[in-house]
Amino acid sequence: MVSFINFEDSNRKCPANTLAYTVQSGDTLYNIASKFNTTVYDIVSLNPGIDTESLRVGQVVCIPKQKLEPMCPIGTSPYKIKQGDTLAGIANRFNTTVESILLVNPAVMGNNLRIGQVICIAQEKTVQTVCKMANSYVIRKGETFSSIAITLNVSLKNLLNANPGVSPNNLYEGLAICIPMAPIIFSITINTMEKTLILYRNGIFFKAYPIAVGKPTTPTPKGTFTIVNKQLNPGGPFGSRWMGLSRPHYGIHGTNNPASIGTAASNGCIRMYASDVEDLFNYVSIGTVVRIF
């Protein structure tokens, strides 16, 4: 929804070490965060009182400059090089190996680290590389590579090949892995009147989830779309999962306002309870068809 700005909106001064960004037509916090390699949570924290559902064209939003470093892939976290650091020392500190660090930081020169340089450190116990087309999956309690392969209709061999740094005998809850591209067996239908999302497997009803849809002034778009991107932990109003639609700026995501589920409350996106969106995220792959009516 486009709205007018006031004088304070357009003349806001951002604090030091931040970047002032002027909101443009069609902007959402999610696409602004993506544009500047930051998170919705960090933007909201830096802009107290910001209306996450209704940005105003011309409004000035402050962006944290420190997030302009490249984002780290799923399963890793950023680390800023300090004086005296070596790759061997960093590897020892984080219970990983130099080889693992170099694998997720191909541009890093081990003998030429720079103070302030940001590198990515793989989560303890594993090396997690960037997934092809961001096709990721989060391990749940009791799951194995074999059970995941059966659920998603992929071969066990291809699943293992897509995760060369992951030991199939050392999976743990919350570990992010990559899913190889395969024939898509799931599809989604969203009924905006009933505020329900239906997941189908091979055309047969599989699961149903309650949702929130767009407000009358910012309705959820209707039509047939596909999932074009997935993101873990986008933060802020988007909760723990994001699945972007081929209609720009719209997606299926979690929420920091669970009371809104079952109502028309969003800016056009589909909101889900945290446990539901985390469940759906694992079934949905890039290219999944989403029909909204």
The CA R_g of the chain, rounded to the nearest whole Å, is 21
Nearest to 281 by CA among 170, 124, 273, 17: 273
CA angle 259, 260, 265 (to 5 degrees): 160
State the DSSP string of 184-196: --EEEEEETTTTE
Nearest to 100 by CA among 127, 73, 129: 127
Q: Is 232 helix (H, G, I), strand (E, B) or coil?
A: strand
- Four-residue CA torsion sign, 99, 105, 107, 113: negative
User: For the purposes of burial, counting CB atoms within 10 Å of the CB of 57, is it exposed (0-12), middle (13-18) or buried (19 or more)?
Assistant: middle
Residue 60 CA from chain centroid, whole number:
24
Catalytic annotation, residues: 253, 269
| Token pair for 142 | 């009791």
Say how far apart CA 159 and CA 201 lie, in whole Å: 20
